[in-house]
Structure 1
Amino acid sequence: MTPPAGFDFHRPADLAEALRLLAADPEAVPIAGGTDLMVALNYRRARPRALLDLTGVADLREWTDEGAAVRIGAGVTYARVAAELGGVLPGLAAAARTVGSPQIRNRATLAGNLATASPAGDGHPPLLATGATVTAASAAGERLMPIGDFFTGPKRSALRPGELITAVTVPKAAGPQQFLKVGTRNAMVIAVCSFALALDTGRRVLGTGIGSAGPVPLRAGEAEAVDLPWEAPDRFGEGLAVEFGRLVAAAARPIDDVRATADYRRHALAVCAARALRRAWAEAHPEGSVRCG
């Protein structure tokens, strides 16, 4: 592909330089893995005047253990999330394994997924379910955004001009986590719908995340408030799982499109949510008689 006349390509060596370049050229489009952006460029759906290549910024390619959470740099790939963080972030790692193909997972980044802000992004539901925080930086400094405030519309986010996503901080699992994705095949597929669940057995709370069933990734607040039998785990029954699934489906705001109807998405979410809760409860209480579906 021949760059158009007047096209600029910036390749900063560190984050400070990247932020200076972006401040001087706010229309420059950041690129790391490029798994979404390059498709748009190749099909002429996007024609940025400048690109800001972040692959040379070493700090963005690292993750750090923050004690109760993990800080994932914007350049960390999905392959590394799946391979290195499954023990502490099992829900996010499970979602990472469903992203594209091995080649795509070796390039694609969680922060790139966030920057695209697609409602179907595979990494988004686990981030919602766990209450992650997005760090954005500009020449003016850093700011933190709760993940629930980050998505503002289809492929729109709360990022401001001149800002870069530098990291995502995700609380470590405090109990079982699940991620389920429905698609037309097992690999290389955009989600028809997806669902993430995080069970915090210490605080006795439940987190949810819904993908590809609304204008933005969603939480299911009423489902999170369902009355779980924490004091008597063996009282968990099929009726509770089905009701949980119904509440998750009710929280969705799907549409009909080429991948599925809105009705099918609601049905699939109800099934996935019930299944996820059964599995998580059974994992949390292996001594009980809960059946895992």
Structure 2
Amino acid sequence: MQVLRPQSWHEALAARSELPGATPVAGGTDVMVAMKLRHFRPEVLLDLSRVSGSERYRIGPDSVHCGPRVCHTTVAERLHRQLPGLALAAGSVGSRQVRNRGTIGGSLGTASPAGDLHPMLLAAGADVELSSVRGSRWVPADGFYRDGGGTVLGADELITAVRVPLAAGPQRFQKIGRRQGLVKSLCSFALTLDRGQRRVRAAVGAYGAAPVRVLAAEQLIEESRVLYGAGTLPAALVAEFGRLAATATTPVGEGADAGYRRRAVAVLAARNLTQAWDMFLAEGHDGHHRDGQRQDP
């Protein structure tokens, strides 16, 4: 097996162009495990761990720009104020050792349906930069995942950056698994509320063949105009939100397992909506707490 170790993006993209069959690897939490289990053995590994600057992030006025090797621990512990939902998702990944090694770019590249970051990237409205020797393009997370699984990443492209908007309101993420953290999720749910725009974005993961936005559930909340009020969410509205979220796509699995996961998504959706709404009310519609003090997002 040949291992290539480029020192820059220029070298990495040139190698990717010359050897499109090479398998990119950074943290190795997916690729190396699959190799150890003999699920596959690539002829060429493209080791990106030495590409300068790929592990850095930059906080801008409207978004956080992350290099693809920004690890889950960094997101969870250093970006929890700017990206609280993504920090929750990153903090739920595996063990501490896995979070130290696993990267945001690696999660996107492997695009495992059970990946914890995917629904939050959708709910947050993230964009992914895909680069090749031909140039770079930004793809919204909404258009990055293919409906049947996989991504739109080209054979000669690499993920070179991820841009995530700063939180404009409460954000929530939760998942359900047979054992906390160290096994794949049975289902997960992510939700963001935008105080200024009175918008909601939500997505499910580890459920269908690919993570998906729950558009009908989002539309239900926005058309109800509850985001313009200040009262308790109607129980019927919360229940319908959960039902629509659970029917946004077909759960992988059959029989009792599919039924359980469908019910679990409905519960997660209702729970996260209620929790985000409580945070929304506590902060006030303009982002101020009831005592009048402005809070960090």
TM range (shorter): over 0.9
Aligned to 1:96: 90
Q: Given the alignment of the two structures, is residue 263 of structure 1 paired with residue 220 of structure 2, yes or no? A: no
CA contact (8 A) 1:117 1:154 kept: no
- Alignment partner of 2:193 out of 189, 199, 207: 199
- The CA distance in 2 between the partners of 1:148 and 1:287, in whole Å, is 29
Q: Given the alignment of the two structures, is residue 250 of structure 1 paired with residue 250 of structure 2, yes or no? A: no
Shift of 1:12: 0.8
Shift of 1:118: 1.3
CA contact (8 A) 2:214 2:248 kept: yes
- The CA distance in 2 between the partners of 1:232 and 1:92, in whole Å, is 27
**Cα separation, partners in 2 of 1:138 and 1:287, compared to 1, 3 Å:** closer
Moved more, 246-255 or 29-38: 246-255
- The CA distance in 1 between the partners of 2:34 and 2:120, in whole Å, is 26
- Alignment partner of 1:52 out of 46, 52, 55: 46
Q: Which residue identity does 2:211 align to in structure 1?
A: P
**Cα separation, partners in 2 of 1:250 and 1:209, compared to 1, 3 Å:** same
Q: Which residue identity does 1:269 align to in structure 2?
A: V
| Runs of at least 5 residues in structure 2 that lack an aligned partner in the other structure | 285-297
Q: Given the alignment of the two structures, is residue 236 of structure 1 paired with residue 233 of structure 2, yes or no? A: yes
- The CA distance in 2 between the partners of 1:273 and 1:209, in whole Å, is 9
Q: Which residue identity does 2:259 align to in structure 1?
A: D
Q: Given the alignment of the two structures, is residue 172 of structure 1 paired with residue 166 of structure 2, yes or no? A: yes
Aligned to 1:65: 59
- Alignment partner of 1:212 out of 201, 206, 210: 206
- Alignment partner of 1:82 out of 49, 56, 76: 76
Helix, strand or coil for the counterpart of 1:94? helix
Helix, strand or coil for the counterpart of 2:213? coil
1:224-259: CA deviation from partner (whole Å, max 9, x where unpaired):
01224123221422222111111111113102269x
1:189-231: CA deviation from partner (whole Å, max 9, x where unpaired):
2000000000001100000110011111011111001224123
Moved more, 91-100 or 36-45: 36-45
Shift of 1:61: 0.5
The within-5 A match list for 1:118-157 is 118-153=112-147, 155-157=149-151
Q: Which residue identity does 1:183 align to in structure 2?
A: G
Shift of 1:58: 2.2
- Alignment partner of 2:269 out of 265, 273, 276: 273
Aligned to 1:225: 219
Shift of 1:43: 1.6
What is the TM-score when the length of structure 2 is the normalising length? 0.91
Aligned to 2:292: none
Aligned pair count reads: 281
CA contact (8 A) 2:208 2:251 kept: yes
Q: Which residue identity does 1:244 align to in structure 2?
A: F
Helix, strand or coil for the counterpart of 1:181? strand
What is the TM-score when the length of structure 1 is the normalising length? 0.92
Shift of 1:154: 5.3
| Runs of at least 5 residues in structure 1 that lack an aligned partner in the other structure | 1-6, 289-293
Q: Given the alignment of the two structures, is residue 27 of structure 1 paired with residue 24 of structure 2, yes or no? A: no
Q: Which residue identity does 1:81 align to in structure 2?
A: V
The CA RMSD measured in Å over matched residues stands at: 1.6
CA contact (8 A) 1:15 1:59 kept: no
- The CA distance in 2 between the partners of 1:153 and 1:39, in whole Å, is 26
1:58-105: CA deviation from partner (whole Å, max 9, x where unpaired):
221111123211111100000100011100101100001110100000
- The CA distance in 1 between the partners of 2:153 and 2:24, in whole Å, is 12
- Alignment partner of 2:180 out of 181, 186, 203: 186
CA contact (8 A) 1:60 1:75 kept: yes
- The CA distance in 1 between the partners of 2:89 and 2:254, in whole Å, is 23
- The CA distance in 2 between the partners of 1:138 and 1:90, in whole Å, is 31
Q: Which residue identity does 1:275 align to in structure 2?
A: R
Aligned to 2:8: 14
Identity of aligned residues (%): 45
- The CA distance in 1 between the partners of 2:178 and 2:191, in whole Å, is 22
Shift of 1:45: 1.2
Aligned to 1:283: 279
